[in-house]
Amino acid sequence: MDEEGTTVGYWNDRGSWVALSPFRVIEKIGEDEVANAISRRRRVNDAVQCLDHRRERIKRFFHALDEYVLRGPFLIPFYQYHDMEQSISMVGDEYCAAQLQGLEEDIYKVWDDLNRGAYRDESHSIASQWLIPTLLFLLKGVVIRHQGEVRDSMKTILHSGDLYGLLIREVDRQDPFVLRILRQLPPPYATREQRQEKREIALMMHDLNLTVGSQSTPAIRFQEQLENLWSTE
């Protein structure tokens, strides 16, 4: 283990390879530098774990809303919210939309923290491998869930699952949902596949905006901004 390349070390004045123990490595590099490197690695790992956790939460809330809509009012005479950290079974679209907004805010804070800190070397890989996939997954899940309540003259047939209306079509804001984070990212951060997925979501929104009852000024503006995202690619 004392040969060159098998461990950390250096060549001495006599031309011999000197292997260093972990403690000697720290002494040679400097304790402060080692501590900074460890802190940096821990901060990056925390960001990745946070993004992974948020994606799983998003998936659970999508599933919970789908369950609520598909089971219908006849199979769910009533439902209760239990401890949402332990069990997410069925939720209505307004509650789901509020939770997704909170998760999007959490993701924004994670990225803003990385972007403001000295983590620019890591930000590219984190954005490409974790941030962008999570945000596109969230946005697509919202866009495809655009079904409002279905009723006949007497009763509700299907519950509303209109996340699109609650988070995009009916919301006029300067920092649009999800898009406010995506447009902070330089074009090179997105892979070819991610750019293609972004175009497909924009096309879905285009089709919705051509549907009677689905158009709105905020939705059209959102679609246009999404189409122009990473336009310098």
Question: pLDDT tens digit string along 78-105?
Answer: 444 444 444 457 888 999 999 999 999 9
How confident is the model over 118-132, as a mean pLDDT? 81
pLDDT of residue 41: 62
Please give the residue that has the higher pLDDT: either 124 or 138.
138
Look at residue 161 in the predicted model and tell me its pLDDT. 86
Q: How far apart are CA 178 and CA 170, in angstroms?
A: 15
Q: Out of 160-174, 187-201, 205-219, pick the least confident.
A: 205-219
Mean pLDDT of 207-212: 84
113 pLDDT band, cuts 50/70/90, is confident
State the Cα–Cα distance between residues 56 and 54, nearest whole angstrom: 5
Q: Please, which pLDDT band fits residue 163 given cuts at 50, 70 and 90? A: very high
Give CA–CA dist 15/10, Å, rounded.
Answer: 9
CB 159 within 8 Å of CB 92: yes
Domain coordinates in residue numbering, the chain? 31-228
Q: State residue 72's pLDDT score.
A: 63
Q: Please tell me the distance from the alpha carbon of residue 66 to that of residue 93, in angstroms, as a whole number.
A: 9
Cα–Cα distances in angstroms (integers) from residue 78 to residues 66, 73, 159, 211, in the given order = 16, 8, 13, 33
